[in-house]
Structure 1
Amino acid sequence: MKTETVDNATLETWTVDEVQQALNARKIVLIDVRTPQEYMFEHIPGSLLLPMSFVDCASLPGQTDKRIVFHCGSGVRSEKVARKAIEEGFEQIAHMEGGFGAWKAAQKPYTGTDMATGAPKRMG
């Protein structure tokens, strides 16, 4: 995990392996900030959808029980959302490096779409 200090807060950048471990151990809330269309086509099981354009950091839960980790397609949008959370008062927040593209490249499991039927299908 990489860390960066931003205005007395900590921005963490997690690897896909760190995210998978923490997700499997139920230690994080993984928030997908992509569009609903991207999420419906393919997503990480257990991730919650909160599109970047709808993020209201004041409405996010506290992190006493589980850490919040954002992710997107490449890591750009999730980093923007994490920085916005810091601007709005979060002292520590994380995002996944490389986004969903890195997740797939690492051959991690995800829910995709069966192109023959349009139904959800476990991939990876």
Structure 2
Amino acid sequence: MKTEQVGESILETWTADEVEEAFANDEIVLIDVRTPQEFMFEHIEGALLMPLAFFKAEKLPGQSDKRIVFHCGSGARSDKVAREALAAGFGRIAHMEGGFGAWKGSKKPYIGTNMATGAPQVVS
């Protein structure tokens, strides 16, 4: 994990492996900030959707039970919303480096769309 001091706050950048482990152990809430269309086509099972276009940092829950980790397609949008969360007063927030592309590139399981039927299916 990489950390960056942003004012009085900390921005963490997690690898796909770190996210996978923490998510499997129920230590984090994974929030996808891609569009609803991107999410419907393929997503990490169990991730929540809060698209960048509708993102309101002040509506995020606290992190008393689980940490928040954002992700997007490449890491650019999740970095942006993580910084917005820090600006809204979060002391520490995280996002996944490389986004969903890094997740898929690491051969981690996700929910994809069966192109023959249009139905969701586990891809591993």
Give the 5 Å matches for 1:79-94: 79-94=79-94
Give the residue type in structure 2 aligned to 1:78: S
Which of structure 1's runs of 4+ aligned residues deviate more than 2 A?
Answer: none
- Calculate the TM-score normalised by the size of structure 2: 0.99
| Separation of aligned partners in 2, 1:56 and 1:94 | 16
Q: Which residue of 1 aligns with 2:78?
A: 78
Identity of aligned residues (%): 66
Q: Which residue of 1 aligns with 2:95?
A: 95
Q: Which residue of 2 aligns with 1:55?
A: 55
| Separation of aligned partners in 2, 1:120 and 1:40 | 9
- Superimposed CA distance per residue, residues 69-120 of structure 1 (whole angstroms, 9 cap, x where no aligned partner): 0000000000000001111111100000000000000000000000000000
| Separation of aligned partners in 1, 2:94 and 2:2 | 10
Q: Name the count of aligned residue pairs.
A: 124
Give the 5 Å matches for 1:36-55: 36-55=36-55
Name stretches of at least 5 consecutive residues in structure 1 with no aligned partner.
none
Does 2:32 align with 1:32? yes
| Separation of aligned partners in 2, 1:24 and 1:45 | 11
Question: Cα RMSD between the aligned structures?
Answer: 0.4
Shift of 1:53: 1.0
| Separation of aligned partners in 2, 1:91 and 1:57 | 13
| Separation of aligned partners in 2, 1:7 and 1:86 | 9
Does 2:10 align with 1:10? yes
Q: Which residue of 1 aligns with 2:67?
A: 67
Question: In structure 2, the residue corresponding to 1:64 is in which secondary structure?
Answer: coil
